[in-house]
Amino acid sequence: MLRGVDGQFDWKGCSAALTYVGVVALLVVGAKFGVAYATDTLYPSADASLAADAAGGDGSSSAGTHADAANSANTIGGNAGTTTPNPDTLSTTTPERVINALTIAQAVPATGKFIAADLVNMELYLYQDGTTTAAYPILSKGRPGTSWETPSGMYAVQSKEATHFSTIGHVYMPYSMQFYGNYFIHGWTYYPDGTPVAATFSGGCIKLATTDAEKVYAFADVGTKVFVYDSKQATPPPALSLASNPVPAIDAASYLVADIDTGDVYTSQFPDMPLPIASVTKLMTALVANEIISLDKKVTIEDGMLKTPRVASSTAPETFLVDDLFYPLLMQSNNAIADALASYYGTRGFVGWMNTTARALDMTSTTFADASGVSASNVSTSEDLFRLATYLENKKSFVLKITHTKSKTITASDGTSYTVYNVNAPATDAAFDGGKVGHTTAAEDTMLSVLSITVGGTERHIAIIVLGSTNQKVDTDHLATWITAAATAGATSQTACASCALPQYRKIQL
């Protein structure tokens, strides 16, 4: 029997937030796909209800994607051209690609209160009617590359508490303002005995000096918009200059090789063809589980699920932290773990979040029917999966790091240890940053990989997607060898001809 040990949800004030997100998503998706679909997928019944209770904060799970890709007219760098959106229309429903292209100045509304947290320059600004009224230094934020990375995006103050206790960090957070899920703006945290935490103590929240947090707390109202700005790479690197090496014969029905740093597509075949993706699904499962289930929550599973080889008859219950279950989910491609995480608050609701997150990432040809990838109705395209790979590399790289881990020992609550081994084909390759393999009869072999290659002394991140293959490792290896050789030779030629123009490639707008 799969069950969650903790009966409480991780988000204080989540009921109001989810109601807002759910209504918007219901209206938007209902208009496009029909109300029955929207209701069933995005606003599930009571089995997926999420009870608002004591939130974690300061070391909790992240929620970096936005609820729906509804505002397609307000694109920045999209197919419709460059348009600066009206600040009044920005919300948690604004697509990720729009948020990524915004500056703080573009996000500030002309009227009302507004808070902007600049995670690049580590400053928090207060605005009244479009004018800056105060600025305070940000003392810490969530560590990049971890599951606690502070999510950028457009949010709003959901709740305020003069003193909030974090059940994850086990610390008090003075002048706490929740802006999304387990994420807060607050003052300097301290332990129950009154001892301030060390300067190195950092969760996923935005921490200010307590005197500054008090002023922000007095300024902010519930509903005040909060824009969290974090531009990791304001200036993308130049396009690669590829030598004219012929692309090898590839068996996959669809494939794509594209540059995560620039969006350039170097080669592809039927990149827009929707196909079953099998266990590549679990990358989205991990992303959503990280967003909606606090990492210190506990899940009980049958011990036979983790034994190698699997022992179906071994049904003794074992309890693990959610944080530890990401390893068998991604390394072992464990279907039972995927189902256990999805069922923590209700499978229908969880799969609805997967589909909502896909739309927020502009994965418009992607649909999920389960969390494991067993269903042939889990479909996507190579181009959509490139968008997912880019988001993971830039915002949730801890997911890819797990897929690159060769082996990992996790320990149950009773002290029993289990060692998990990696089934992702290139997990030991030096250039492999991470990814996921999959196989079902309907999908055949599938694979998403992110590679790091050094070209002209600069590290570049390349995504390789293969779908509908008879051998995903062979196809991926052939494409990886090709792009590495073509880029290396092209860089040499470009150096010899500094005045030569760089090539132009089709770009995937992100």
The set of catalytic residues is: 279, 282, 333
Q: Let me know the angle formed at the C-alpha of 485 by 480 and 489, rounded to the nearest 5 degrees.
A: 150
Closest alpha carbon to 295 in 149, 184, 163, 420: 149
Taking the alpha carbons at both ends of the chain, their separation in whole angstroms is 41
Closest alpha carbon to 389 in 325, 448, 330, 454: 448
User: SS3 string of 326-352?
Assistant: HHHHHHCCCHHHHHHHHCCCCHHHHHH
- C-alpha 301 chain-centroid distance: 25
Return the structure tokens found at 242: 């590829």
Return the structure tokens found at 269: 């075949």
Return the structure tokens found at 300: 């009980």
What is the torsion angle, in degrees rounded to the nearest 10, for the CA atoms of residue 63, residue 271, residue 447 and residue 402? -20
Return the structure tokens found at 309: 């080889």
- Nearest-angstrom CA–CA distance, 189 and 201: 9
Instruction: Please identify which residue in the block is written with the tokens 């490792």.
Output: 473
Neighbours of 454 (CB within 10 A): 13
Give the DSSP per-residue string, 207-246: E--HHHHHHHHHH--TT-EEEEE--S-SSPPPPP----PP
